[in-house]
Structure 1
Amino acid sequence: MSNYLKKFNLSVIQSRSRLRRFLTKLEKQPPKTLDLIAEEVDKEVWAETNCLACSNCCRNMTPTYTFQDIKRIATHFRMSISDFKAKWLYKNKQGEWMNVSQPCQFLDLKTNMCSIYAIRPQDCADFPHLTKKKMVDYMHVHKQNVQYCPATFKMVEKMMERVGILR
């Protein structure tokens, strides 16, 4: 594990509960300008975040594959959809297709790069969903991702600075 990930994991242990409580309060009492604040914070977070220093999401989480994702990636590997699913995916209780293994089979562990980056699942392309929807509608995802994603962690810390009344 890199020093970057070690430091991040220590920060998570120290702050996860506090950050999740803040997100719960923010969900219950969202300021009217919450989405505007989230957009500002998003820009700051990505100016400070290098995903290639981390890849924690690919190491510890799995995307949900849509039919379009499966078809696109299977075609890339010149596989049938059923062969692709049999080799790399399973269907969870909600009927969603997920990676069988972690870390992700498409992650190069030496470089932290995705071997199918250009055709990766949409869930990966959208991760960590900082401004995907209205902020208040996505709090449950941020509560989960704060322990895996340094960008989400930074986003919540910056939101706490901006929305100080809810600390």
Structure 2
Amino acid sequence: MMDIYEDWQLNAKLKLKETETFLKRLKKTKKGKLIDQIVNDADEKVFEKFDCLSCANCCKTISPVVTATDVRRIAKHLRIKETEVLSEYMRVDSDGDYVMNRQPCPFLEDDNECSIYDVRPKACKEYPLTQNKGFNQRPALHTLNTITCPAVFHVVERLKEKIK
């Protein structure tokens, strides 16, 4: 595999239509369990070479959905009221969900560490969604994630090699 960071975003953008078509086609297949296994295996291989702290592009460019449970956990950790977490760090998006109110994430530190890592939102814990079941059921999300996360780009490229 080429250096995982080398030109990944340019390549992801150049292959965006191809990736979108490929992942949409996978949604219609009945090979969901096989796809999940291939993706999980690819995820393990990619993350042997990839360090999220060297990138943190997800924290710099996208806002996760933050649940009420997440807000409670963050408030307790910061020792402030939930309403303060909401007013200081959150906004309501067009879907009516709470998301971070700015990018990069207000909890992202200069060294790409998360200041609330132990209590980070569930969406952050699950990102980049390459270990979840039903990978083939979210083609639009994974297509976008290929231009946000080099690991997702390389996982999808490995998937393309295995499923022709």
Change (3 A) 1:34 1:13: closer
User: Aligned partners of 2:50, 2:20: CA distance in 1, in Å?
Assistant: 21
Aligned partner of 2:122 in structure 1 is 122
User: Aligned partners of 2:108, 2:5: CA distance in 1, in Å?
Assistant: 16
Report SS of the residue matched to 1:146.
helix
Q: CA deviation at 1:49?
A: 1.5
Identity in percent: 30
Given the two structures, how large is their TM-score scaled by the length of structure 1? 0.87
Q: In the comparison of the two structures, how many residue pairs are matched? A: 160
- Work out whether 1:155 is the aligned partner of 2:136: no
Q: CA deviation at 1:91?
A: 1.3
Report SS of the residue matched to 1:29.
coil
| Equivalent AA in structure 2 for residue 76 of structure 1 | H
Q: CA deviation at 1:146?
A: 1.1
| Equivalent AA in structure 1 for residue 15 of structure 2 | S
Given the two structures, how large is their TM-score scaled by the length of structure 2? 0.89
Aligned partner of 1:70 in structure 2 is 71
State whether residues 59 and 102 of structure 1, in contact with CA within 8 Å, keep that contact through their aligned partners in structure 2.
yes
Aligned partner of 1:31 in structure 2 is 31
RMSD: 1.8
| Equivalent AA in structure 2 for residue 35 of structure 1 | D
Report SS of the residue matched to 2:148.
coil
Report SS of the residue matched to 1:85.
helix
Q: CA deviation at 1:5?
A: 6.4
User: Aligned partners of 1:161, 1:57: CA distance in 2, in Å?
Assistant: 25
Q: CA deviation at 1:41?
A: 1.6
Gaps of 5+ in 1: none
State whether residues 30 and 136 of structure 1, in contact with CA within 8 Å, keep that contact through their aligned partners in structure 2.
no
Equivalent positions of 1:2-151 (< 5 A) are 7-31=7-31, 33-108=34-109, 110-151=110-151
Q: CA deviation at 1:39?
A: 2.0
Instruction: List structure 1 runs of 4+ shifted beyond 4 angstroms.
Output: none
Q: Which has the higher contact order (CA 8 A, sep 6+)?
A: 2
User: Aligned partners of 2:140, 2:14: CA distance in 1, in Å?
Assistant: 20
| Equivalent AA in structure 1 for residue 127 of structure 2 | F
Q: Deviations over 1:79-132 (max 9, x none)?
A: 111111011101123221101100000111x31111111111110010011121
Q: CA deviation at 1:36?
A: 1.9
Q: CA deviation at 1:64?
A: 0.7
User: Aligned partners of 1:81, 1:118: CA distance in 2, in Å?
Assistant: 17
Report SS of the residue matched to 2:13.
helix
